[in-house]
């Protein structure tokens, strides 16, 4: 397959999902002795992967079909490295863009954008210790949205609302306008480490739901 003629077609969360399926297959080959069970797992994993791309180009199907051929960890990592070329990175943004997304934030401490790996981000998130606030940038329907709120560390592990992973979480709460002059607070527990959260995310559903929750009037 010639990579030069194929545009990136999968989101970071979809790549993470396939990565999880591939690693499950490798684990199965080391722990399961029943060939019928392994065969069923192979095609179940492939079906789940293909379901992510209902209108996939026929030229791309062989790339995903190769999942079922993987048996060893070294094969899996080589395959995932190849698959990585087809991931759509998060939109590259500038400090000016960040400032426009959070116009009310005074002395906003912006992360070092040049150090961010946009390749596998479903959202950009960072914690400003000085203000005890967390900032999230998410792309919805082709437009960037900035979400900010207070963030209280819980000093314990829990289920993250965004990635559904069991990680160190904190309570993110944002004020949402509920009337002409009234506000209410909405939010939930999310990962303290946004990079870990992005790595865990195998679907954008919960992230999109969270954005909707914080944008409801």
Split at pLDDT 50, 70, 90, the class of 1 is very low
Residue 187 CA: distances (Å) to CA of 9, 86, 216: 31, 33, 12
Identify whether residues 72 and 111 lie together within a single domain: no
Strands 166-177 vs 143-159: parallel, antiparallel or unpaired: antiparallel
Alpha-carbon distance 18 to 201, whole Å? 11
CB 130 within 8 A of CB 136: no
pLDDT at 178: 66
Length of the chain: 217
CATH number of the domain within which 61 lies: 1.20.1280.250
54, 86, 118 - which closes a domain: 86
pLDDT tens per residue, range 75-125 = 999 999 999 999 999 998 888 899 899 988 877 877 777 778 888 999 999
Backbone φ and ψ of 210, nearest 5°: -65, -40
Identify whether residues 106 and 183 lie together within a single domain: yes
Residue 98 CA: distances (Å) to CA of 12, 93, 174: 21, 7, 18
Identify whether residues 67 and 114 lie together within a single domain: no
Identify whether residues 147 and 207 lie together within a single domain: yes
Look at residue 3 and tell me whether its pLDDT is greater than 60.
no
45, 67, 86 - which closes a domain: 86
pLDDT at 216: 61
Alpha-carbon distance 40 to 59, whole Å? 25
pLDDT at 149: 93
Identify whether residues 150 and 183 lie together within a single domain: yes
Look at residue 54 and tell me whether its pLDDT is greater than 90.
no
pLDDT at 181: 63
pLDDT at 28: 93
Identify whether residues 148 and 45 lie together within a single domain: no
56, 86, 116 - which closes a domain: 86
Strands 133-140 vs 143-159: parallel, antiparallel or unpaired: antiparallel
Place of tokens 């060939």: 35
Identify whether residues 24 and 62 lie together within a single domain: yes
Q: Determine the structural domain holding residue 116 and report its residue range.
A: 95-215
152 DSSP β-pair partners: 171
Question: How many domains in the chain?
Answer: 2
First to last CA, the chain: 49
What average pLDDT does the chain have? 89
Average pLDDT over residues 3-8: 66
Place of tokens 């500038």: 94
pLDDT at 86: 93
pLDDT at 18: 96
Average pLDDT over residues 38-59: 89
pLDDT at 179: 61
pLDDT at 176: 77
Identify whether residues 197 and 100 lie together within a single domain: yes
pTM attached to this predicted model: 0.89
At 161 the three-state DSSP class reads coil
Identify whether residues 125 and 99 lie together within a single domain: yes
Strands 123-128 vs 133-140: parallel, antiparallel or unpaired: antiparallel
Identify whether residues 209 and 110 lie together within a single domain: yes
Q: Beta-carbon neighbour count of residue 78 at 10 Å? A: 12
Identify whether residues 72 and 107 lie together within a single domain: no
Split at pLDDT 50, 70, 90, the class of 186 is confident
pLDDT tens per residue, range 125-171 = 999 888 889 999 999 999 999 999 999 988 899 999 999 999 999 99
Identify whether residues 37 and 125 lie together within a single domain: no
Alpha-carbon distance 93 to 211, whole Å? 19
pLDDT tens per residue, range 23-44 = 999 999 999 888 999 999 999 9
């Amino acid at each position: 397959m010639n990579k030069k003629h194929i545009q990136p077609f999968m989101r970071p969360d979809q790549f993470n999902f396939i990565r999880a399926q591939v690693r499950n297959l490798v684990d199965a080959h080391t722990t399961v002795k029943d060939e019928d069970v392994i065969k069923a797992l192979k095609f179940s994993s492939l079906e789940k992967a293909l379901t992510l791309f209902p209108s996939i180009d026929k030229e791309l199907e062989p790339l995903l079909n190769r999942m079922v051929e993987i048996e060893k960890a070294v094969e899996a990592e080589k395959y995932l490295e190849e698959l990585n070329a087809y991931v759509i990175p998060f939109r590259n943004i500038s400090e000016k863009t960040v400032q426009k997304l959070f116009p009310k934030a005074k002395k906003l401490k912006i992360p070092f954008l040049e150090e961010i790996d946009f390749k596998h981000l479903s959202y950009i998130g960072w914690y400003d210790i000085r203000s005890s606030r967390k900032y999230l940038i998410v792309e919805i329907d082709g437009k960037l949205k900035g979400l900010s709120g207070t963030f209280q560390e819980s000093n314990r592990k829990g289920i993250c609302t965004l990635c559904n992973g069991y990680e160190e979480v904190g309570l993110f709460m944002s004020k949402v306008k509920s009337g002409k002059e009234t506000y209410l607070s909405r939010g939930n527990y999310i990962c303290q480490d946004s990079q870990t959260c992005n790595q865990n995310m195998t679907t954008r559903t919960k992230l999109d739901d969270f954005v909707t929750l914080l944008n409801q009037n």
